[in-house]
Every structure is written in structure tokens, then in C-alpha cells.
Amino acid sequence: MTYQPTALSDDLSTLPKLPGWVTSGRAETLETVAFRSGIALTVLDQLVTDPRHGLPLKLLSNRLALSAATATSKLEGRLAREADIRDAYHLTPPGEQRGPDGDLLAFWREAVQLRLIGRDWQSGLTDLVSPDLLAEAYNWLNAGTAHARVYGPLAACVSVMRDVLETDDRAERVACMFADVVLARALNWKTVLPISGLRLTKSMLRDLGAEEQGADFKVQASLLESVEDTIRLARDLASRAAALRSVAPKLRAKGSEAAVALFLSEDAVAPSTMLSPMIQGTTIPMTDRAARRFCDRLVELGVSRELTGRPTFRLYGIGS
């Protein structure tokens, strides 16, 4: 039987979206940034917290982790491409060194696994932050949370970034990660979404750490753009997830339900290691041939694509 490729839903009217007037103009003052960010964060919060919208949150988190790794690679002066970072993480054999690019993505994937509830939520920071920064980390994060209540989430993100950079001007990834933690806590999210660093530049952070005039505005404006980008990504992933779920009954391979669940949580799936010899996170076996056929069937159905363009060492995902 031959299936026609599944078209992504064009009807996204049920998903929260930004009003046109929010994105039609460029923010020119801190006041307009604060006003527009209130609308944008409300929309993003609705997408993230309401399960009726069908957004695969873990998939969004891991896709943002890759984007954050690419962005912070630039901030740290390495300029690695997204594809190289993804490959370094997903295609390095278990037990071997991933290299700096793969380690950077590992950092952000660990960050999105932080749990922000419970009395010991800070314990997860231990493996992500150097001891010299960790000593002040909790004070900075608590101060940032208090700052958000008075001045708003984006201003709080800027505040905690400055605290980190004034202590270590080379701790760009930690500054961005702490901003993401402050944002998540301000919005009562249970997990971290790596948003803060997506549109930042090295000069923005340098000026922020040096307390240059206008630095706060530039960083907040970039944060607003990152939130808007994340809303668009979330809506796209919700649509793609719906398309995948719609074809799931057509998949007859043993373990297809678990394999679909993996595609709804991982931005890149390596069939030879994540589906075979056992589907990741399960005890369900799948042969290498079956894994490759399963991924090819998802491509055939129009709900997944091959990400590398190579005939071997392939990765598949449902994201754009």
C-alpha cells in the first residue's frame, strides 16, 4: 500500500498566537519592550502549560537546547554550525569524548532537565556551574526572582546576566542559563526553556557587563525577539506533532508506539543507536533494518525528514 504524504495542518486557529500589532513594529523603549513582552510571554505560557494545545514540550526543550548551543558557541567565539553541534552530540559512540561542540549541547540538554520545584531544586546546578560561580548562584537566582516581581521577567533576566558577567565575563553560557532559570521561575514553569541567548551578540553581553548606556534595552529587546521566535517554533512543532499522531495508526512495526513517542521528545533520532537494538527508554527490541525502515516510512508519510543529507550516519526528526 502506498500512502500519500501527510500535509501539515494549515489550520492553527486553535493555537495561541501573537497579535499582529505585537510583531508589526520594533520596540524602541524599555517601556514598549515590557508591554510587548507581557503579551508574548502570556501566549508562550499558554502554549507551554495547556496540554490541550498538543505541544510536545520535551521536543520543544531539546530543539531549543540545540539552538541555544549554537547561539552560545558564537558568544564564546567558536562559531560552530548547528549541524556540527548536533552531529557531535548524537553521533559520538557511547563512552567516547564528544568534543567541545557535543559537550556544549550536553550542557543545554542537562539545563532543560533541571526541575524547578521542590526544596532542593538548586542541586541540579552543581554539575552545570563552576565552583567559583556556584557560591553566588543561589543568591543571584533568588535576587532575580525577586526582581521579576517588581520589574518584570525580562528585566530580571538582564539583572542575573549582569551579575554573572561582572564576576566572570567569559561565563556566557551560564549567564544565559541563569536567565532562563529566572524566566521559568517567574512564570511558574516546572522546566527550563533555553530562550535567553538565542538572539544575543557578544557585544551586547560585553556592554551589559560594563554597564554601558543602553545595554539593558538592547538585551531586553533581543530577549523579546527570542520569545517571539519560540512562539513560532512551538506552534510549528504542535502542528507537526499533530501530523505525526494522525499517521501513527498506520504504522505496523513492532514498537511503533514507543518509537513515535521518541520522535515526539527528541529533535534528532539516530535509528542505529536510539531505535536499535532497543528503543531508547524502553525494553522493546527493534532490529537495525526495522529501525531504518520505520524512519523511512515516516519520511514517506511526510511527517519526518532526514536531517543530515548523508547516505550513512543518518538522523531523523519532525522539526523544521
pLDDT in tens, 30-85: 999 999 999 999 999 999 999 999 999 999 999 999 999 999 999 999 989 999 99
Task: Determine the average pLDDT of the residues in 276-284.
Answer: 96
Is 299 part of a structural domain of the chain? Answer: yes
Quote the domain boundaries for residue 308.
251-317
Q: Identify the burial level of 64 via C-beta atoms within 10 angstroms of its C-beta, where 0-12 means exposed, 13-18 middle and 19 or more buried.
A: buried
- Please report which confidence band the pLDDT of residue 117 belongs to, taking 50, 70 and 90 as the band edges: confident
Q: What angle do CA 217, 222, 227 make, to 5 degrees?
A: 125
Average pLDDT over residues 265-286: 96
Across the range 277-282, mean pLDDT stands at 96
Task: Give the C-alpha separation, 197 to 153, whole Å.
Answer: 15
Please indicate, yes or no, whether residues 167 and 284 belong to a single structural domain of this protein: no
Look at residue 16 and tell me if it is in a domain: no
At 221-251, the pLDDT tens digits run 999 999 999 999 999 999 999 999 999 998 9
pLDDT at 1: 38
pLDDT in tens, 210-221: 999 999 999 999
Say yes or no: 214 and 308 in one domain: no
pLDDT at 2: 42
**Does 205 share its domain with 275?**
no
Query: Are both 229 and 282 inside the same structural domain?
Result: no
| 313 and 194 both lie in a single domain | no
Provide long-range contacts, Cβ within 8 A and 24+ apart, for 285-289: 285/255, 286/253, 286/254, 286/255, 286/259
Higher pLDDT, 312 or 320: 312
Q: In this structure, are 227 and 255 located in the same domain?
A: no
Which pairs from 235-238 meet CB under 8 Å and 24+ separation? 235/12, 235/15, 235/17, 235/47, 236/319, 236/320, 237/55, 237/56, 237/59, 237/60, 237/63, 237/318, 237/319, 238/12, 238/15, 238/47, 238/53, 238/54, 238/55, 238/56
* Domain final residue, candidates 215, 238, 261: 238
Same domain, 75 and 186: yes
Helix, strand, coil percentages in the chain from 3-state DSSP, rounded to 5:
60, 0, 35
- Confidence (pLDDT) at 45: 98
Residues 219, 268 share a domain: no
Q: Are 277 and 288 in contact (CB under 8 A)?
A: yes
Domain-located, residue 6: no
Q: What is the pLDDT of residue 166?
A: 94
Domain C-terminal end among 205, 238, 271:
238
135 and 280 share one domain: no
Assess whether pLDDT exceeds 80 at residue 139: yes
- Indicate which CATH number applies to the domain containing 264: 1.10.10
Domain shared by 228 and 258, yes or no: no
pLDDT for the residue 170 = 94
Same domain, 116 and 257: no
Domain boundary among 209, 238, 267: 238
Same domain, 118 and 79: yes
Confidence of residue 6 (pLDDT cuts 50, 70, 90): low
Q: Residue 8: inside a domain, yes or no? A: no
Spatial separation of the C-alpha atoms in residues 186 and 297, rounded to whole Å: 42
Q: Is 169 a domain residue?
A: yes
Give yes or no for residue 135 having a pLDDT over 60: yes
pLDDT at 312: 86
pLDDT of amino acid 181: 96
pLDDT class of 10 with cuts at 50, 70, 90? very low
The stretch 77-98 carries a mean pLDDT of: 93
Whole-model pTM over 0.75: yes
Does residue 312 sit within a domain?
yes
Q: Is the pLDDT of residue 279 over 60?
A: yes
Residue 2 falls inside a structural domain: no
In a domain, 12, yes or no: no
Count of the separate structural domains present in the chain: 2
- Residue 231 CA to residue 121 CA, distance in Å, equals 26
